[in-house]
Structure formats: structure tokens, C-alpha cells
Structure 1
Amino acid sequence: MFQLDNKIALVTGGGSGIGKAVALTFARQGATVHVLDVSTENAGKTVEEIKAAGGNASFHICDVTKQQEVVQVFQGIGKLDILVNNAGISNIGRADTTSEEDFDRVFQVNVKGVYNCLFAAIPLMKANGGGVILNLGSVAALVGLNDRFAYSTSKGAVHAMTLSVAKDYLQDNIRCNSISPARVHTPFVDGFLAKNYPGQEEEVFQKLSKTQPIGRMAEPEEIANLILYLCSDEASFITGTDYPIDGGFVKLNS
């Protein structure tokens, strides 16, 4: 089950964190994986790891906020069965403390970046007779979180885009779903703690971990396993749905 043999998959932000875990998981299950990232070093390491394990992968340096770049990369790939819109950034701030520059920056990556990839991928999938799109949402779009105004708003847009695409392309055999993770232990988290809480990293890490009722953060591989299912043929009856993967955060925190 959950094999992706003969499938061509593209993962944005595949150089680290959740995206890297997805790329590795897809390759292990037989897919040819295209890793998109802005970091040559990170993307290259992901591809090297996949090839060392006997998988098939290549990387493309691409800024998802630039539509022409995105379209060129996708057209160069040609055939596409699976798109995972994972690339994203976060921001700390409230409505009255978030600068216009930061608000625009978050939306350029988290909203326009997803749109650009949808714009480029859907014609390829239509020509291919169908495909699967998986968008990375967040629990921030489902519940109120402190100091996450721009990020929460951007992920709400991702959820809406997921529903729109799922509805519009039913007749083209294109499925589109999203997942909404709570906190995941990625290099981003470690960097955030080092920058904002020097000397208190472990203490704050434990505090953040315990905001999930299950008592810990998710590992990237756990998120990748859900994405694998939703992108596999075993999930062929699922579209237009968001899946929280949150250690009980949304339903059990009240």
C-alpha cells in the first residue's frame, strides 16, 4: 500500500523540515521527486540523501514568489502527478504590530507562492489526465493563536484555495486537500528559539511542546506519513478536505 511507483512528485521547500521528510518518504515509496527550494545547499543535500538510498530525485532552485521562475521549472519537468505546496514562512506580530513589509512578505510566500505553483501545475495535471495537490495549512487557520496575525491569515487563504481548487477541477480528476499541523520539531523551530530565547532554548522548547495535549511536538516524518496517504491512490475518494495533525491541539485544548 501507499506505493508511488511511476509517479512524478514535486515538493516545494523540500530542502529542510517537513518538505525534506516528504521528499524522502515519496522517494522511498517509488516516486521520482523534484525538490524546489531557494537554498542550493539544502536542496542538494536532500537529493543526495535520496540518491544514496537508491531513489530518484533532482532539485531546482526556485523562488515560489516569482511566477515566471515557477512556470519555467514546472514546464521543464513536464509531466506531474503530485504537487506538495510546503514552502512557507512565519511571522510574529499582532494586527497593530505587524509591519506592512512583514505582512506583504508572508503573503508573497504563503499565498502567492501557493497560487503560482497551482497556476503552473494544474495545466500539466489536466494534460496528464489528473493529479493530486496537497497544501500545507496550519492549526493557526483553525483557532486563534497569540501574535500570529499575518501567518494565521495566510494559512486561512491556503485553506480557501484548497476548497476552490478541489471544486473547480473535479471533472479533471485532480484532487486537492490540505493538512493543518500544530507545532513540528524542525530546524526552523531550533533557529527561532536560538534567535529569540538565547540561553532558554530547552525551557521554551518544553513549554511549546506541552501546548499540544499529547505532550510533544510532531516529528517531520509523522507529517510526511499523512501527506503520503493523501497523495496515494488509497486516498482516491478524498478531496476538498483539511486534516488537522496536531496532537489534540484543536479539539482537546479547551
Structure 2
Amino acid sequence: MQKSFLITGATSGLGKALAIKIAREYGDSCKMIMISRSFNKELDGLSSDTIKYIPGIDLLDIRPNDAVSKQIDAFFAEPFVLIHSAGDFWDHVPFLSVNTKRAKDMMDSHYGTLYNVLQSVLPMMVKKGGGKILTFSCNATVYNFPNMLPFTAAKAAVDATIKCIAHEYANQNIVANSLALSSLQTEQNKDSKPFGDYYNYLDLEEISQTVIEIAELSNNLANGNVINCYKYSDSYYNQGYFERIKQK
């Protein structure tokens, strides 16, 4: 059972919920590193001999053998789970109102950060005998909703990366999967979709438990997948798309 975790993007809504749940459930029996760009006092309070918090890190700047990579390498003596929860939030915006720079920034925040983190972390996993990689995608990559192009393209790139890594490194005991999420119960989602079926969005505690259970799978057969995570939503099944995302 995997009890060693590296969480990148730890101050995201889901990243923070995961870190807190892992620390609460495993306590001193786990080893965990949390990395974030901004500082969070609650995450800092989790720090202990077995839990390390490294704030102030731009994931696009991490390099093999730099100070952060050396900390990660020294901290884990055995296979560990990388949970990548980084990426900018997206409001529903028409294509022509999003300039190329903003679209590129969105791609960098999701796909670029994952690619860059893997450049440093994957060699460590191979050296330590394997590991698991979990990322977060979105059901928009299947449905290709309007007003979501840069975000959807970035998440599609994340999914493609995971599938390629799974095939390329399966013989190195590496397992990589992506979880395609429907809307999460965060204040940002509540504000961006005020007429949405918020109480049927994914609960952070519940999805965190699902992530842990996937990380704890005892074999490597479930590899290279995009796993859909959703709950029944009245508005999703009974309203039109533009009704669900309309603004006040």
C-alpha cells in the first residue's frame, strides 16, 4: 500500500483537501511533500518529521538536480505517489475574447507544469523502483463545450501526457492515470455558475477519498486511464448547457 505522497499544486482547492485528508488519516505512518506557489498557513501547520511543506515554488521553474528536486529525491527512499493538482481556474469565456497569451498561460499552468514536474520526478521514480502518477482532467475534454477552449485543450494535453507516460514506463513499474472531474464544490465554481446544481457537484472530501483509494490499488493493471468522476446532477441532465452556466 502506497503511503508516500508528493502533492504539487497543494494550495488548490482539491490539492489542499487531499493533503489535509492524507495527514489526518495516515499521520506519522505516511511521508508527504506538499509544493505550492503561494503560502498557506493551514498546510504549513501540517509540517512534521514526516510531512514537509515547500511553498513559493513555480512548478514551471523546477529543474532536475535543483534544490527542490534534491529535497524530493532525498525525502523518499521508496516508490511514491505524485498527485499533480496544479492549473489555473477557468471562467466560461468565448474563444475570440481570449488572446493567445492567455491561452498559452492556461496551457502552461496545466500541461506545462505537469510536463516540467515529470522531467524531474520521473527519473526518481524509476530509480526508486516505480511509483504512481495521478492528475486531474475534466469531462469537457469529452464533450468539448463552447466557451471553454483553452482550458479544455490544456486538460486534453494532460490526458495525452498521462497515457503516453503509462505506455512508455509501464515496464518500469510506473502507473499513471488521470481523473476527469465534473464540477467541484468550491466557491469559485459556485460563483462562476450561480445557477448550477452546486449541491450535486463533487464534494472535496469524497473525491479526496477516491484519489487515495486509487493510489492504494495493490497492482498495476489499471494504467493509462482517464477515470470519469461525477455525481447525478438534475441541472446537467435536465437543463441546456447555456442555462447551467448563465450569469446573474
Q: Which residue of 2 aligns with 1:106?
A: 106
Cα deviations across residues 220-246 of structure 1 (Å, max 9, x unaligned)? Answer: 111111111111143532111111111
Q: Which residue of 2 aligns with 1:24?
A: 20
- 1:104 CA displacement: 1.3
1:62-81 equivalences under 5 Å are 62-68=57-63, 72-78=67-73, 79=76, 81=80
- 1:103 CA displacement: 0.5
Cα deviations across residues 187-231 of structure 1 (Å, max 9, x unaligned)? Answer: 4335xx2xx6xxxxxxx53x2226xxxx61111111111111111
Out of 229-238 and 162-171, give the one that drifted further: 229-238
**TM-score (norm. length: structure 1):** 0.80
1:46-195 equivalences under 5 Å are 46-48=43-45, 50=46, 56-61=50-55, 62-68=57-63, 72-78=67-73, 79=76, 81-92=80-91, 93-189=93-189, 193=191
Q: Which residue of 2 aligns with 1:208?
A: 196
Q: Which residue of 2 aligns with 1:244?
A: 228
Match of 1:228 among 203, 209, 212: 212
Using the alignment, how far apart are the partners of 2:174 and 2:66 within structure 1? 19
- 1:91 CA displacement: 3.0
- 1:71 CA displacement: 5.1
Preserved CA contact (<8 Å) 1:181 1:223? no
Query: Which residue identity does 2:62 align to in structure 1?
Result: Q
Preserved CA contact (<8 Å) 2:137 2:155? yes
Preserved CA contact (<8 Å) 1:91 1:102? no
State the aligned residue count: 227
Q: Secondary structure at the match of 1:169?
A: helix
Counterparts in 2 of 1:100 and 1:13: CA distance versus 1, 3 Å: same
Counterparts in 2 of 1:38 and 1:172: CA distance versus 1, 3 Å: same
The answer as to 2:36 corresponding to 1:37 is yes
Q: Secondary structure at the match of 2:143?
A: coil
Using the alignment, how far apart are the partners of 1:230 and 1:119 within structure 2? 23
Preserved CA contact (<8 Å) 2:184 2:201? yes
RMSD of aligned alpha carbons: 2.4
Preserved CA contact (<8 Å) 1:63 1:70? no
Using the alignment, how far apart are the partners of 2:135 and 2:58 within structure 1? 17
- 1:45 CA displacement: 1.3
Identity of aligned residues (%): 20
Cα deviations across residues 29-68 of structure 1 (Å, max 9, x unaligned)? Answer: 342111111111x2x41241x35xx894221121112233
Q: Secondary structure at the match of 2:89?
A: coil
Using the alignment, how far apart are the partners of 2:237 and 2:54 within structure 1? 40
Counterparts in 2 of 1:120 and 1:130: CA distance versus 1, 3 Å: same
Q: Secondary structure at the match of 1:113?
A: helix
Structure 2, unmatched stretches of 5+, are 239-248
Preserved CA contact (<8 Å) 2:131 2:174? yes
Structure 1, unmatched stretches of 5+, are 197-203
Query: Which residue identity does 2:90 align to in structure 1?
Result: N
Using the alignment, how far apart are the partners of 2:105 and 2:65 within structure 1? 18
**TM-score (norm. length: structure 2):** 0.82
